[in-house]
Structure 1
């Protein structure tokens, strides 16, 4: 049987995540790659921490598929990276991947401590 509430939870999570993403962009004006880096690292940390903690199927859809998927942003990262040029673009890719993976490891450790 299909849970008819799931699409609503994903949409609500998406709304909240997009609003939070916008707020970060406003809070970090003039430094677009830094704001994008911040949301991608925070989103990686939060998603990894939620893996071992969130048991509710509905909450996972709200949080992971909705909120965190709209909070983090690959398309903006890609466009900003290209616009930075080869040297700074490569630095941006390195920072996003290195800090993103570090955030995942920290999030998994945090999730294990919370369970």
Structure 2
């Protein structure tokens, strides 16, 4: 049953990631990967809320592992950061690397606090 929950969550999270990335990126005229940044921070916040609220194992499998796992993307974050650096957009590469980590940790911490308050 757990595998099925992860599959369903992933099937919802992957298109949500793609759609969110495309919508966010289309609204920005810079070379910064705002779409990936957004899905990673949103996923960190959601996962923090989930664990802060001490969600049930089935909800953790569905939303935490499945949905958030498919929504967020470390590989694209890494690729885009390296791509920015290779294109000599060093400032964007540094902002993406350090900003994503700081914002993701901050969002996860805020999510934990919000989840604990529920």
- Please give the TM-score of this superposition, normalised by the length of structure 2: 0.86
* Residues 54 and 19 of structure 1: CA distance in aligned 2, closer, same or farther (over 3 Å): farther
Which residue matches 1:38? 38
Q: Give me the whole-angstrom Cα distance separating, in 2, the residues matched to 1:12 and 1:84.
A: 34
- 1:54 Cα deviation after fit: 4.2
Query: Which one of 4, 12, 15 corresponds to residue 19 of structure 1?
Result: 15
- 1:26 Cα deviation after fit: 2.2
- Please give the TM-score of this superposition, normalised by the length of structure 1: 0.88
- Where does structure 1 lack aligned partners over 5 or more consecutive residues? none
Query: Which one of 109, 113, 116 corresponds to residue 109 of structure 1?
Result: 113
Q: How many positions carry a matched residue from both structures?
A: 110
Q: Give me the whole-angstrom Cα distance separating, in 2, the residues matched to 1:20 and 1:54.
A: 24
- Where does structure 2 lack aligned partners over 5 or more consecutive residues? none
Within-5 A mapping of 1:1-115: 5-30=1-26, 33-85=33-85, 86-114=90-118
Q: Give me the whole-angstrom Cα distance separating, in 1, the residues matched to 2:78 and 2:52.
A: 30
Deviant stretches of 4+, over 6 Å: none
Q: Secondary structure of the equivalent of 1:55?
A: coil
Q: Which moved more, 1:47-56 or 1:77-86?
A: 47-56
Q: Secondary structure of the equivalent of 1:29?
A: helix
Per-residue CA deviations over 1:43-89 (Å, capped at 9, x if unaligned) read: 00100110032432111101111000010000000000001113321
